[in-house]
Chain A
Amino acid sequence: MRKGNRMINESIAYLLLNIDKYYDAVIIHIEISLAAIAVSFMIAVPLGIWCSKNGRISYSVINAFTILRIIPSLAVLVLAMPILGTGFVPALFALTLLAIPPILINTYSGFRNIDPSVLECATGMGMNASRILVGIEIPLAMPLILTGLRTSAAEVIASATLASYIGAGGLGDFIFTGIGMNDVRIVLIGGMSVALLSVLTEISLAAVQHMVTKYQRD
C-alpha cells in the first residue's frame, strides 16, 4: 500500500514538473481522436445508409472495411508512413480506418431494422424521400448508430496512443517515454489519462444515447 501511494505521489510530482508537456499531449490526443471519429462518422454514416438501400453491393463494401480492420493499427501506421509521411495525417488516416467499420455496420443494421410498414405509411402520408430520411429513418437508426460510435470512440482513444510512434504526439509520448526510461511513474500518467479520457467519452456518449432512446422505455 505504502509503495503504491509513494508511486502515485511521485507520478503527480513528475506531472506537476512537466505540466505544459502534459497539457500539450492531452490536447493532441483529444484532437487526433476527435478528428478521426468525426471523419469516420462522416464517411461511415452516408456509406452505411447507401449500403442499406443498395442490397447487392452492401456485402462487398462492409466486408472490405471489416478486412481492413483486421490489419493492426500499428501496421497501418507504419504502412502509411512512406506515402503520408510522419505526424498527424498518417495517424488520422490509420485511426479513421479503424473507426469506420463499427459505425458503418451499425448504420447499415439501424436502417435495415426499420419496420417497412413504418416507411410505407410515411410514403403513403405524402412524405418525400428526404423527409423520410431526416424525420423517420435517421432518428430510428440513431440508437444503433450511436452504439457503433461508442465502440469506435473507445478503440480510437486507446489506439491514438500508438500515434506517438510516428511522431504525432499525444499521451502515447508519456507511455513510450516511460517504457523507454523504465520509469513506471511516467507510464502511469499516460495510461491513467488515456483510461480517464475513454471513460469520460463513454459516459457522455451513453448520456446522448439515453436521450435518443427515450421512446423505447416506459
Chain B
Amino acid sequence: MARTAIEFRNVSKQYANTSQYAVAGVNMRISEGSFITILGTSGSGKTTLLKMVNRIYEATSGEILYFGEHIHNLNLEEYRRKIGYVIQQVGLFPHMTVEENIGTIPQLLKWDTDTIAKRVDALLELVCLSPLDFKKRYPRQLSGGQQQRVGLARAMAADPGIMLMDEPFGAIDAITRQNLQEELIRIQRKLNKTILFVTHDVNEAFKLGEKVVIMHEGTIQQFDTPYGIITKPANGYVARLIETQDIVQRLKVLKAQSVMLPVDPQLSDCAFRVGTEESLHNILTYFLENDQKHVLVEDNRRGIVGKITWEQLKGSTRQGKVLSA
C-alpha cells in the first residue's frame, strides 16, 4: 500500500470580501506516486485547491497533511522546496540563464557546484532539451514550449516529493501540448512522481490522470479513475461534463476487458488478438483499417478470455451516451 502523500481534511477556503466558499469541505487522500488531475471550469475552485497545498493560498479551515505532517507545522520555505511548482505563465526568471533557473532550488539547498551542473544536464536531457544548446540561453530566447520544458525541469531540480502543476500546458499550441503531455506521462512513469495537475480540458484530464478529481462550485463531484467516471458518473454535472468529451476520446479510456463478451476458451480463431488493457480506441482503429468484424481478447498468459465485435463497440459508445444522459 502506497503512503499518503497529501491528505485534505475538511479543507475550505473563503476569500476576503466574498460570501461564497471557493473550496468547501474537501476531503481527499492522494497516494504517493499517483498522477492526479483536477478538472473543473473556471471558478470551480480547482486552482485554489492546488495552491493551498504549497500555501500560496491559506486554507480558511481544515487541515492539509504532507506525508502525515500538518503543513503548518513545517518550516514554510523548507517545505516549499520539497514541492515542484509549475504554473501556466511558466514564471522563469528572465535575468537568469536556463542553467541558473534550474539550479535555483539546489542552490538554496546549498548543493555543491559540480552536483548542480550535473543535475541541470540530466534534467535538460529528461525534458528533451540538449544541455549544450540550451544551458546558457535566457528564457526570452526560448519558444513557449521550450520555456515550459525548462519550467518542468526547474520544478524537478531538487527531486521534490510532490509536483503541483496549474494548467501548465494551457498557453501552448495544440501540437506542442500533445508532445508535452506524452512526455509528462513518460517522466511520471519513469520517476514515479506524485503529481497534482489542474486543467479545464476534459481530454487532458482523462489522458494524463490515473485518477481524476472533478471540481464544481468548490466541492469534489467525483474522484475516480477515468474509466470509473465515464462508466459511472456520480451525478448529472459529471455526466454533462463527460458529454463534452468526444466519443473517440472516450474510447481511449475504455479498456477491452470492460466490454468484451465471454467466449469458449477452447476457441481457435485466427482473428486479431488484443490484450485486456487495450483501449477501445485502438480496437476501433483496427476495425476501421481492416475489414474485420471482431477481435479476440487475451490475458497476459495468452489465454483467450473474450471477444469484441464491431456491433458491441457501437453499443459501448451508445451505452456511454445513455449513462451520461
A and B interact = yes
Q: Which residues of A contact B (CB under 8 A)?
A: 115, 117-118, 120-128, 131, 136, 139-140, 215-216, 218
| Contact A122 to B93, CB < 8 A, known contacts A117-B87, A127-B108 | yes
Q: Is the CB of A215 within 8 A of B138?
A: yes
| Contact A118 to B79, CB < 8 A, known contacts A125-B105, A215-B138, A216-B140 | no
| Contact A118 to B80, CB < 8 A, known contacts A123-B56, A124-B54, A126-B108 | no
11 A-B pairs (CB sep. < 8 Å): A115-B89, A117-B87, A123-B80, A124-B164, A125-B81, A125-B104, A125-B108, A126-B80, A126-B108, A136-B95, A140-B94
Checking A117, A124, A131, A139 against B83 with a beta-carbon cut-off of 8 angstroms, the contacting residue is: A124
Count of interface residues, chain B, beta-carbon cutoff 8 Å: 28
B71 at the interface (CB under 8 A from A): no
| Contact A140 to B104, CB < 8 A, known contacts A124-B83, A126-B80, A216-B140 | no
Minimum CB–CB distance for B50 against chain A, Å: 11
Q: Is the CB of B85 within 8 A of A121?
A: yes
CA of A140 to CA of B91 in the docked complex: distance in angstroms?
A: 13
Q: Is the CB of A127 within 8 A of B77?
A: yes
Checking A126, A139, A215 against B78 with a beta-carbon cut-off of 8 angstroms, the contacting residue is: A126
Minimum CB–CB distance for A110 against chain B, Å: 12
Minimum CB–CB distance for A121 against chain B, Å: 3
Closest A residue to B141 by CB, please name it. A218
Minimum CB–CB distance for B176 against chain A, Å: 19
Minimum CB–CB distance for A95 against chain B, Å: 32
CA of A128 to CA of B77 in the docked complex: distance in angstroms?
A: 7
Closest B residue to A128 by CB, please name it. B77
Q: Is the CB of A136 within 8 A of B93?
A: yes
Q: Is the CB of A121 within 8 A of B91?
A: yes
Minimum CB–CB distance for A130 against chain B, Å: 11
Q: Is the CB of A126 within 8 A of B105?
A: yes
Q: Is the CB of A118 within 8 A of B93?
A: yes
B92 at the interface (CB under 8 A from A): yes
- Please give, as numbers and ranges, the residues of chain A lying within 8 Å of B108 by CB-CB distance: 125-127, 131
CA of A45 to CA of B165 in the docked complex: distance in angstroms?
A: 36
Q: Which residues of B contact A (CB under 8 A)?
A: 54, 56, 76-81, 83, 85, 87, 89-97, 104-105, 108, 138, 140-141, 154, 164
Instruction: Given contact pairs A127-B77, A215-B94, A216-B94, enumerate 11 new A-B contacts (beta carbons under 8 Å).
Output: A115-B94, A120-B56, A124-B164, A125-B154, A126-B76, A126-B80, A127-B104, A128-B77, A140-B93, A215-B138, A215-B140
- Please give, as numbers and ranges, the residues of chain A lying within 8 Å of B89 by CB-CB distance: 115, 117
- Please give, as numbers and ranges, the residues of chain A lying within 8 Å of B54 by CB-CB distance: 124
CA of A128 to CA of B90 in the docked complex: distance in angstroms?
A: 19
CA of A116 to CA of B112 in the docked complex: distance in angstroms?
A: 30
Minimum CB–CB distance for A168 against chain B, Å: 40
Q: Is the CB of B77 within 8 A of A118?
A: no
Q: Is the CB of A117 within 8 A of B105?
A: no
Closest B residue to A136 by CB, please name it. B93
- Please give, as numbers and ranges, the residues of chain B lying within 8 Å of A136 by CB-CB distance: 93, 95
Q: Is the CB of B80 within 8 A of A124?
A: yes
Minimum CB–CB distance for B24 against chain A, Å: 24
| Contact A124 to B140, CB < 8 A, known contacts A139-B95, A215-B94 | no
Checking B85, B90, B94, B96 against A125 with a beta-carbon cut-off of 8 angstroms, the contacting residue is: B85
Minimum CB–CB distance for A214 against chain B, Å: 8
Checking A118, A126, A128, A216 against B91 with a beta-carbon cut-off of 8 angstroms, the contacting residue is: A118
CA of A102 to CA of B314 in the docked complex: distance in angstroms?
A: 72
| Contact A126 to B79, CB < 8 A, known contacts A115-B91, A117-B91, A120-B87 | yes
Minimum CB–CB distance for A42 against chain B, Å: 23
- Please give, as numbers and ranges, the residues of chain B lying within 8 Å of A118 by CB-CB distance: 91-94
- Please give, as numbers and ranges, the residues of chain A lying within 8 Å of B95 by CB-CB distance: 136, 139-140, 215
CA of A139 to CA of B96 in the docked complex: distance in angstroms?
A: 10
Closest A residue to B81 by CB, please name it. A126
Minimum CB–CB distance for A34 against chain B, Å: 28
Q: Is the CB of B77 within 8 A of A126?
A: yes
Minimum CB–CB distance for A7 against chain B, Å: 50
- Please give, as numbers and ranges, the residues of chain B lying within 8 Å of A121 by CB-CB distance: 85, 87, 90-93
Minimum CB–CB distance for A176 against chain B, Å: 46
Q: Which of A115, A121, A126, A218 has the most CB of B within 10 A?
A: A126
- Please give, as numbers and ranges, the residues of chain B lying within 8 Å of A216 by CB-CB distance: 94, 140
CA of A114 to CA of B219 in the docked complex: distance in angstroms?
A: 34
Q: Is the CB of B85 within 8 A of A124?
A: yes
- Please give, as numbers and ranges, the residues of chain A lying within 8 Å of B90 by CB-CB distance: 117, 121
CA of A13 to CA of B73 in the docked complex: distance in angstroms?
A: 78
Which 9 A-B pairs give the minimum distances between C-beta atoms? A121-B91, A117-B89, A126-B80, A124-B85, A126-B81, A117-B91, A126-B77, A215-B138, A215-B95
